[in-house]
Amino acid sequence: MVAVKSQYTYDDSVAATSVYTLFDAEVVEELTHDHLVRLAAGVVGALQIKNFFTTAECTAIVDGVNAAEMGSYAFTPPIAKLGPAAYDFYKTGELGDAYFDNAERDAKARATLLDGEDPLGTAMDRLSAAWGNRVQRATSGGRPMYAGMIREINNSALMHFDEIARECPTGLDQIPVAQLAFNCHLSKPDGGGEAVVFRRGWKPSDEAHRDGYGYATYLTESEPSVSVNPDVGDAIMFDPRNYHLVTPCTGGRRITLSFFVGLTGAGPLVVWS
């Protein structure tokens, strides 16, 4: 006998219990609490939220970025950015004053990019509406961390993972229950630039296959994956503890507003970069 429930099919003539990969990319018109819960639970590979920012908002932010002084990550291929990454400063078990000095300076530079307003505040308000609770900046040593990095990836990004609990184990005052990545695409290249996420997290043995910040792609050759190529204004969210990469870009500019989202046991979401 075969019974159908929702999108799943149950066949009681099969002795073994069916197991589902549950790693698809979902395109949604509006982000909801359920989407975030399912993403954190690992039963969705990636979310693409249509028109998280309007085209006009994206144009305004990019115009502001063009007038801003950008820094860059210290690795190859180069990636321009506005805003410090926590793991760039976490060297002695704490972030240190240099991190917070950079955070204050770059937050001021970003604060007026959206027609005089801060695009991070807009993104946090929209996430809060979806989650039904507060969204606030994560803290380190009681001090608010930087969130809302502007990044320009015009080449590619190597396969890597991001996990604050392993890379900066004493960096956050409260380790999140789950970590998500948020990237809203403010402009996109003419070709390429897809985000690819693999259903495979880091293992200690992977360190033998590491080159700089990236890992050998053969580690994920047999793993389920999803590829997302969002339009301007679309946000994508996924679990960055899974390996992920950005494919090479051709023409144009791939600019995003990017930060991490932590689900806490207390209820609010926390964000950092």
CA distances 265 to 59, 141, 273, Å, are: 37, 19, 20
For residue 6, with 0-12 CB atoms within 10 Å meaning exposed, 13-18 middle and 19 or more buried, which class applies?
exposed
* 163-198 pLDDT per residue, tens: 999 999 999 999 999 999 999 999 999 999 999 999
CA distance 220 to 158: 13
Q: Residue 189, preceding bond cis, omega within 30 degrees? A: no
Q: What is the pLDDT of residue 150?
A: 94
- Per DSSP, the chain holds a count of helices (H) and strands (E) of 6, 20
CATH class of residue range 22-272: mainly beta
CA distance 163 to 183: 16
What is the reported pLDDT for 8?
Answer: 60
**Which is nearest to 36 in space by CA: 151, 129, 147?**
129
Distance CA 126, CA 257 (A): 14
Low-confidence ranges of the chain (pLDDT < 70): 1-15, 71-77
Query: What pLDDT is attached to residue 2?
Result: 46
Exposed/middle/buried for 135, CB within 10 Å: 0-12, 13-18, 19+? Answer: buried
DSSP 18: P
pLDDT at site 200: 98
Give the model's pLDDT for residue 4.
47
pTM listed for this prediction: 0.91
Q: Residue 247 burial (CB < 10 Å; 0-12/13-18/19+)? A: middle
